[in-house]
Structure 1
Amino acid sequence: MFDILMYLFENLVYDQSDIQTDHDELTDELIRAGFHHDEIYKALTWLEKLSELQKTSNNPYLTGLSGVPSTRIYTYKEQLKLDIQSRGFLVFLERINVLDSSTREMVIDRVMEIDSQEFCVIDLKWVVLMVLFNVPGKESAYEQMEELLFEMPDGLLH
């Protein structure tokens, strides 16, 4: 399913295609690309839920305390999915104002819906990018995240 999400994001977003393509057309395109129907359904459902989360009236993560620092306590299942490096990266993104508490929770929600057993920080970066792309008013945060995703380290790697 995550491969499909990546394929859609890279091909529809970066190619500037119409993101509002109808499900039948999208399904046909994904089948032609070699993806299985059940995985396509899961990916499209994942994207629909992401779209629903960004709507103010449906967003369970909006609170009246925005801007107030808080500590996020992860459930056992979240800790299994998001290792210490991933959780640390989320804290880092909040500290540099790429994520706020609402978008952080949207990211965690979407991560928990990915059915992959192996999930790493690079995957998390893509999920963050997808979430920020779908939240109005987060264009600057999206650009920052895009730079973080594609930046190449300077100097020698050990």
Structure 2
Amino acid sequence: MFDILMYLFENLVNNQTELMVDQDELTDELIRAGFHHDEIYKALAWLEKLCDLQSTDTTPYLTHSAEISNTRVYCEDELIKLDIECRGFLIFLEQINVLCSNTREMVIDRVMEIDSSEFCLVDLKWVVLMVLFNVPGKELAYEQMEELIFELPEGQLH
């Protein structure tokens, strides 16, 4: 399913293709690309839920008073899915204001819905980018995240 999400993000978003595509056309394109029906439907459902989260002015996760707290306690399933490196990266993103508490919760929500036994920091970075892509007012955060993903190492390469 994650491969489909990556395919869609790279081919539709980065190519600035019209995002309001017919679901049947999109399904046909994904089948031609070699993806299976059940995985396609899971990925489309994942994207639909992401759109639902992003389309609300107030996310259902936090109130304004909760925004003050910096502590996030992870449940057991989240600890299994998000290793220490991933959790540390989420904290880092909050510290540099790429994520706020609400967008962090959106990211965690979407991560937990990814049907994959293996999930790593690189995958998390792409989920963050997908979440930030359409969140109103988060264009700068999206650009910062893009820079973090495509950042080239400084200095000489050996």
What band does the TM-score fall into relative to the shorter chain? over 0.9
Root-mean-square deviation (Å): 1.6
- Unaligned residue ranges in structure 2 (runs of 5+): none
Q: Which amino acid is 1:51 matched to? A: C
Mapped partners of 2:157, 2:87: distance in 1: 24
Structure-1 residue corresponding to 2:107: 107
Q: Distance in 2 between matches of 1:33 and 1:100?
A: 36
2:31 and 2:94 map into 1 onto residues whose CA distance is 37
Cα offsets for 1:103-126 (capped at 9, x unmatched):
000000000000111100000000
Cα distance in 1 for partners of 2:107, 2:99 equals: 9
What's the % identity of the aligned pairs? 73
Give the conservation status (yes or no) of the 8 Å contact 1:97–1:141: yes
**How many Å separate the matches in 2 of 1:62 and 1:55?**
16
Q: Does 2:1 correspond to 1:39?
A: no
Aligned-residue offset at 1:59: 2.5
Q: What is the match of residue 137 of structure 2?
A: 137
Q: Which amino acid aligns with 2:127?
A: V
Aligned length: 158
The aligned residue for residue 54 of structure 1 is 54
- 3-state SS in 2 of match to 1:125: helix
Work out the CA distance in 2 between the residues paired with 1:106 and 1:95.
17
Calculate the TM-score normalised by the size of structure 2.
Answer: 0.95
Distance in 1 (alpha carbons) for counterparts of 2:71 and 2:157: 33
Change (3 A) 1:58 1:30: farther
5+ residue gaps, structure 1: none
C-alpha deviation, 1:66, in angstroms: 6.0
